[in-house]
Amino acid sequence: MNKRSNWLIVSLLLTGLVLLVACGGQQTGEEQTLFVGPNLVECTGVAPQMCMQVKDTPDGEYRLFYDQIEGFTFEEGYEYELRVRVEPVENAPADASSLKYTLVEEVSKTPVSAATSQPAAEGDVKTLYVGPELVDCVGVGPQQCMQVKENPGDEYTLFYQQIDGFTFEPGYEYELLVRVTTVENPPADGSSLQYTLVDVVSQTPVTAGATAVETDQAASLVGPLWQAQTIQGTAVLPDTEVTAVFGEDGSLGGSAGCNTYTTSYQVNGSNITIGLPASTQQLCTEPAGIMEQETDFLTSALPSAATFRINGSSLEIMTAGGQIAVLANRIP
């Protein structure tokens, strides 16, 4: 084979290699704009980690970004506008993202002053579930409170504070990630905790019929004689009667087993608060333990009430932690 033939073969090989590189370097995927916030925040993916906060529009809400952007180096204290390429990842591992993000262009990098920047990652991040309605409550004065719970199966409790960065819209149930930080030297009428929105995980519309159930429960509470079966998980002593009657005027009274008592209560949806009762001062000696039972009922069980639920002829009054403070049956 002569030299000319050798050069021809080499030329063809080089041409093929160039074409192969050119084809392999073709860009795929879609381009999009991401706005990146100035701070990393704690988040949990496969394990606890630090996440960027991103949004699709300048006026949108930041959401947690669990991935990395190839070619982009994050520097805290700046807001970024980025053009990124988003490509699907074939056969992605179960614990990895199905999308790959690659930096196309850093459109802008704007320094954020300490006064306007979100605080560095401090405090605990927790999940709060927010109910679909505001309810009347009394803090420093009469106000409207959100209803929150920490687990989907819990009962809602009143939330007397605000969540910075969160705008409540009635008619939706929310799952939120919030950061809870300690407030140094809070005012006497203020909370020692500050809540800041990290992410709106979900916003689910609720039909009007869902709240009607709570209204029916409140109406069923009023009027009947309720007889306690257990007090803080302990069965009521034989031959004793512990009762309660809820009045339409917010009054509550009945027998504590030995003495009669009276107090007041307030209901908001499925939430209930009961004041510390006043009672007569009779002393009973039988059956054994009757006065201890009465003390538990009046000074511990009733004042700990946070929520209630009626199932048929059964009434459950529960603490903020979900424990049953009083289990009672309706007496016909």
Q: Average pLDDT over the chain, rounded to whole?
A: 83
What one-character-per-residue DSSP string does 10-50 give? HHHHHHHHHHHHHHHT---SEEEEEEE-S--EEEESSSEEE
Residue type, 303: P
Greater pLDDT, 274 or 154: 274
Determine the Cα–Cα distance for residues 131 and 200; give it in Å rounded to an integer.
Answer: 14
pLDDT digits (tens, 9 = 90+) for 190-232: 777 889 999 998 988 876 544 545 556 677 899 899 999 999 9
> 218 and 315: one domain?
yes
Q: Is residue 17 part of a domain?
A: no
Q: How does residue 46 score in pLDDT terms, banded at 50, 70 and 90? A: low
Q: What is the predicted pLDDT for the residue at 74?
A: 93
> 199 and 291: one domain?
no
Q: Is residue 238 part of a domain?
A: yes
Q: What is the predicted pLDDT for the residue at 27?
A: 54
Closest CA to 133 of 91, 167, 171, 93: 171
* Max mean pLDDT range (21-25, 159-163, 235-239): 235-239
Greater pLDDT, 305 or 322: 305
3-state secondary structure at position 181? strand
Determine the Cα–Cα distance for residues 134 and 207; give it in Å rounded to an integer.
Answer: 15
pLDDT digits (tens, 9 = 90+) for 158-182: 888 899 999 999 889 999 999 998 8
> 141 and 82: one domain?
no
Return the structure tokens found at 184.
């140094």
Determine the Cα–Cα distance for residues 258 and 282; give it in Å rounded to an integer.
Answer: 7
What one-character-per-residue DSSP string does 55-73 give? ESSTTSPPEEE-S-EET--
> 217 and 202: one domain?
no
> 107 and 131: one domain?
no
3-state secondary structure at position 102? strand
Q: What is the predicted pLDDT for the residue at 64?
A: 84
Q: Residue 8 pLDDT more than 60? A: no
Determine the Cα–Cα distance for residues 192 and 161; give it in Å rounded to an integer.
Answer: 11
Range of lowest pLDDT (128-137, 184-193, 238-247, 313-322): 184-193
Q: Residue 25 pLDDT more than 50? A: no
Question: Do the beta carbons of residue 129 and residue 150 sit within 8 Å?
Answer: yes
Q: Is residue 7 part of a domain?
A: no
The model scores a pTM over 0.85:
no
Q: What is the predicted pLDDT for the residue at 283?
A: 95
Beta pairing class for 99-111 and 69-70: parallel
Largest Cα separation within the chain, whole Å, is 124
Q: What is the predicted pLDDT for the residue at 41?
A: 79
Q: What is the predicted pLDDT for the residue at 120?
A: 41
- Using the 3D structure, point to which of 206, 236, 268 is the last residue of a domain: 206
Q: What is the sign, positive or negative, of the torsion defined by CA atoms of 169, 190, 124, 43?
A: positive
- Quick one: average pLDDT of 97-126? 74
Question: Do the beta carbons of residue 45 and residue 67 sit within 8 Å?
Answer: no
Q: What is the predicted pLDDT for the residue at 98?
A: 78
Hunting for tokens 């590189």 — which residue is that? 21
Q: Is residue 4 part of a domain?
A: no
Q: What is the predicted pLDDT for the residue at 114?
A: 43
Q: Residue 153 pLDDT more than 80? A: no
> 173 and 72: one domain?
no
Q: What is the predicted pLDDT for the residue at 28?
A: 62
- Quick one: average pLDDT of 139-156? 81
Q: Is residue 119 part of a domain?
A: no
Question: Do the beta carbons of residue 217 and residue 307 sit within 8 Å?
Answer: no
Q: Is residue 165 part of a domain?
A: yes
Return the structure tokens found at 29.
């995927």
Residue type, 35: F
3-state secondary structure at position 89? coil
Determine the Cα–Cα distance for residues 146 and 132; give it in Å rounded to an integer.
Answer: 8
Q: What percent of the chain is predicted at pLDDT more than 70?
A: 80
Residue type, 263: T
Question: Do the beta carbons of residue 232 and residue 292 sit within 8 Å?
Answer: no
Q: Residue 10 pLDDT more than 60? A: no
Q: What is the predicted pLDDT for the residue at 80?
A: 95
Structural domain boundaries, residue 313: 211-331
Q: Is residue 184 part of a domain?
A: yes
pLDDT digits (tens, 9 = 90+) for 256-314: 999 999 999 998 878 899 999 999 999 999 999 999 999 999 999 999 999 988 887 88
Q: How does residue 122 score in pLDDT terms, banded at 50, 70 and 90? A: low
